[in-house]
Amino acid sequence: MTDDARTSHEAHDAEGRTPSDFTDGGHGTPESRRADSSGPEFPRPDGPEFSRPEFLPAGEGPFPAERPRDDGWSQLGAPPDPARWGGGRQDQPELLRHDDRHDDRYGDGRDRDVPPGEGGREPGFTGEHWGDPSGRPRYDTAVFASQPAPPPPPAQAFGMGPGWAPPPGSPGGPGSFGVPAAPAPVRRGPRTTTLVVLALMIALLASTLGSVGTYLLTKPAGSGRDPSFSLGGAPTGSNVRPPESVAGVASKVLPSVVSLAVEGGASSSTGSGFLIKGGYVVTNNHVVANAGTTGQIQIQFNNRKSTSAIVVGTDPESDLAVVKPAETFGAPEITLGNSDNVVVGDPVIAIGSPLGLTGTVTSGIVSSLNRPVQAGEENSSEATWLSAVQTDAAINPGNSGGPLVNVNGEVIGVNSAIATLGRSVGGQSGSIGLGFAIPVNHARRVAQELITTGKAKKSRIGVAIDPTYQGVGVRIATEPRQGTQPVEPNGPAAQAGLKPGDVILEVEGVVLQDGNELIAMIRNRAPGEKLSIKYQRGGQESTATVTVGAAPEQPSPKPS
C-alpha cells in the first residue's frame, strides 16, 4: 500500500523483482506462507527464505477468464507416469540433492552451509509434493536432472502487483524450468507534446497573474480611477437625414432665417426674421419699433455674417414689419406656404433666436386655429387683436418674427406671441407650450403692401360692438358712442342689411364667443373678401354676405 512505510525490501519489490542477494526479513503473516490462494498452507521453515512469489501481471497475456478451463496439465500433455514422481519406485531417475548442509540455491556456484532443517530433505519427506500442478515452490531443493518444465500458473491466477513475482531464476519463477523471464518494466516519462502544452499553460497563467498583479499595484487606492479604462471609439454613421424629417427641414430653412439686434436710444430689443423675395426680411413690428427714425438695426445670417438694415415699413395693427439688409451674403429666400390649408394636428417647426440663441429649432404641432390673440406689446397704444395659429412648439422671447414652417419647409405663420402664467418683476416668463403665429396669408398681403406703399390697409366692416353684452355671439351697439354710429352709414355692414342691436352668431361657420374674436377674424381678411355671416334679430336667425372694406387712411402728420 502507498500509505505504509516502505522497507528496503519493498523498494526492490517496486522494481518488479527481488535481488538474489536479498533475504526476506521474516514477515510472518499468513499470506507470506501461501504459494497461492487455492493450495494448502505449508509450514514456514525456520530461518531465512525467499520472498513470496509474484505471479506475472494479468496484462502480459490473455485475460485468465478468456482461457479455457483445464486441470492445470493441459499445456504439458498427458500426465507423466506416476513411477517418475515417487511412490517407492526403484526405477525413478536419480535425484540430485544438496547434501552435507551445502546449498547453491542462489545460483552463483558457491556452496553455503545450510542450517539444519534447510536444504536437502525435510524431515518426513516422501516425495509426494513433486510435480504439484499448482506450481507451488518446494522447500526441498532437489531437482530432476531430466525434469520437464513445470506447468504454468493456474488459469484463475491474477497479477497481484509489485512484490508478488518470484525472483528471476528461482524455482517456479521467470527464467526457471523454461519459463521466460518477464522483461523489466521500462520507465517512461511524459510525452514531449504534453510537456509543451503544460509549458504553454504555465506561461499563460503566469502572464495573466502578472497582468492582474500589475493592475492591482498601479490602481490608485480608493480614487475610483482605472488607467486601463476605455469606452472605445464612436460608432460610424451618416448625418444625412430625410428631407421631411425635422432635421431635414431645419437644414433647408435655417440658411434663410436671420437674427435682429435693434438699438434705439435708451432701449434695445432682439428678435428673428426670414428672408423673402427681393432680399427683404419679414419680422414683427414690436421687434423693430424701438429703432424709430434714428435707431440702428443689425442683422446676422445663419453663416454668422452680419450687416446693417433699414426699416421699409411697419403695421402695428397686424404686428408686422419689413426691413432691408445691406447684404444677404448669398442666403436663399424662404418659401411661403398657404395658411388656409393648415389643419389642427399638422406637425410644425419653429426657428429663431430665443434669448439671443441664434439658429434654435423647436418642433410641435398645430394646436388650434383662429385663436384671437393680442398682438404687439401689452398695454401699448398700438396693441391689436389677430386670429392666430396656435402651436405647442416652444416659442420664447427672441423667437418673435421667426418663421413657423410645415414639413415641406414652407412658412405657414410668423411667430408673434406666447401665453404665460404671469411675469416676474422686470422680466419675462418662458414658453409653457402656448405659442401663436400670424397666418402667413395675412403676412403675405401686409408685407407686399409695406414694400410697395410703405403702409398696409386695415380691414373693416363698419360696426361698433356693445361691450356690455353677455349673451351668445356679438351684439352690435344700439346707441352712438363718442360720435360714432353703431353701423357705419353706407359701410360694408349696412350694405349687407345689418342694423344696430343685431346679434352676430357665426362668421364663415365659426361660432363667435366674444367681440375680440370677431375683430381678429375681420382683420385677417383682405379688403374685398366676402364673408358669410349668420345673425339674429328679434329671435329670428338670418344670413348675410358682407364684403370686407378698408378703413380710411389717416393723414400722416407733417412737420410745420
Phi first, then psi: give them for residue 207, nearest 5 degrees. -65, -45
What SS3 class is residue 16? Answer: coil
The answer to whether the CB of 437 falls within 8 A of the CB of 414 is yes
Residue 196 host element (H or E): helix 192-218
CA dist., res. 406 & res. 428, Å (int): 28
Could you tell me if 172 and 166 are in contact, meaning their C-beta atoms sit under 8 angstroms apart? yes
**Active-site positions?**
286, 319, 400
- Can you give the C-alpha Rg of the chain in angstroms? 62
Grid coordinates representing 508 are 364663415
Nearest to 412 by CA among 384, 436, 448: 436
CB 553 within 8 A of CB 458: no
Residues 6+ apart with CB under 8 A from 42: 33, 35, 136, 139
The conformation of residue 252, written as its DSSP 8-state character, comes to H
Q: Give the span between the Cα atoms of 81 and 77, in whole angstroms.
A: 12
- Residue 199 cell numbers, joined: 509549458
Question: How far apart are the C-alpha atoms of 403 and 399, rounded to whole Å?
Answer: 9
CB count in 10 Å sphere of residue 404: 32
- Collapsing DSSP to helix, strand or coil, 203 comes out as helix
Length of the chain measured in residues:
560
Output DSSP code: residue 76: G
- DSSP type of residue 223: S
Q: What is the DSSP letter of 519?
A: H
Residue 522 three-state SS: helix
Question: HSE on the CB side for 25, CA within 13 Å?
Answer: 5
The 3 state secondary structure assigned to 427-489 is: CCCCCCCCEEEEEHHHHHHHHHHHHHHCCCCCEECCECECCCCCCCCEEECCCCECCECCECC
The H helix count followed by the E strand count for the chain is 7, 24
3, three cell numbers: 500509505
